Every structure is written in C-alpha cells, then in structure tokens.
Amino acid sequence: MYNDQCQREGVVDFSVLLLRCYVLLQANQLLREHYQRRFAHVLVDECQDTNALQYKWLKLLAGHGSTHEGAVFAVGDDDQSIYAFRGADVANMAAFEREFHVANLIKLEQNYRSHGNILQCANALIEHNDKRLGKSLWTEAGDGEPVRVYESMTDAQEAHWLLE
C-alpha cells in the first residue's frame, strides 16, 4: 500500500532515491565519470552508520577499482554504531580499511568529555565486542567520581535520585 501510494503521488522515500540514483550511476558511464571528476575528494562522516547501498555508492563515486580513483576520507567510531535497525553495517568500516588500502589510520582515543573511571568501565564493556576495530579510550581529566550503579523501579524514581 505504501509503494502504491508513493507511485500515485509521484514521490519516493530516501532509500528508493538512493537506489534509483545508484542504478542510474552504475548503468551510465558518462554520468558516473562526470561525478567522479566533479567530486575528486569524498568525505564520509559517521561511516559506522552506513548501509550496504551507501557503501556501494561510496565505491562508485570514488571510482573504486577504476582509473578515476579519487581521494576518500572516512570518519567513524565502530563503538558508536546505533543504526543497525535501519540497515547500517559497522563492518563497512573494516571493509573500507581493507578495500581502499588505508595507509594512514588515525585512532582518536583521547576523550575530552569523560573522566577516567567512566572510560575504564566503557573500555571493559566494549572490549567484549569481537567485531570492533579496537581502541582504548583515555583521558587527562583524572579519575573523577567512582562509577555507581543505581536501579530504580520507575523513571520518576530515577530522576529523583539523579536530582538528589
């Protein structure tokens, strides 16, 4: 029903728009080469939240595997991937590193927002994820307050505890 309604109104949603553009660029070499020249430098932000189609888009626009390969820069944090429910695949980050022959991987491990005790807990939890690329967060901000666990029966009780 959704697709029928979109068809009647002549509209597409974002995922269909991506797919149609990808198919067009893939099938039309002249158009593809035009955009590869126009976008000689490509920046991918939040790479951990890209899906399979978006990763294919990247390879197509970057001219991956062709003589038109442009400069590609990707930023992401595999420990902050939250859009799997929308098809995002954190494995795209490892694929990017492998397929684009990343020679200069920079890990941003220094944290400026949290204290050491929080980061120690975070590192202890995320190290069990065997699909992560790996990093160890640290800070110069000192240990901070000890981490405490509080369990409440309701959100109102939790809010009251936080306020206290």
d(CA 12, CA 3): 9
Euclidean distance between the first and final Cα of the chain, in Å?
Answer: 51
**Of 122, 124, 114, 113, nearest to 144 (Cα)?**
114
If you average pLDDT over every residue of the chain, what do you get?
A: 90
Neighbours of 57 (CB within 10 A): 20
Specify the pLDDT at position 133.
81
Q: pLDDT of 3-33, one tens digit each?
A: 899 999 999 998 899 999 999 999 999 999 9
Q: pLDDT of 38-55, one tens digit each?
A: 988 999 999 999 999 999
Amino acid type, 86: R
Pairing of strands 71-74, 41-44: parallel
Specify the pLDDT at position 68.
52
Neighbours of 33 (CB within 10 A): 15
pLDDT of 65 > 90? The answer is: no
d(CA 121, CA 136): 11
Average pLDDT over residues 87-103: 91
Three-state SS string over 81-133 comes to CCCHHHCECCHHHHHHHHHCCCCCCCCCCECCCCCHHHHHHHHHHHCCCCCCC
pTM of the full structure? 0.77
pLDDT of 93 > 60? The answer is: yes
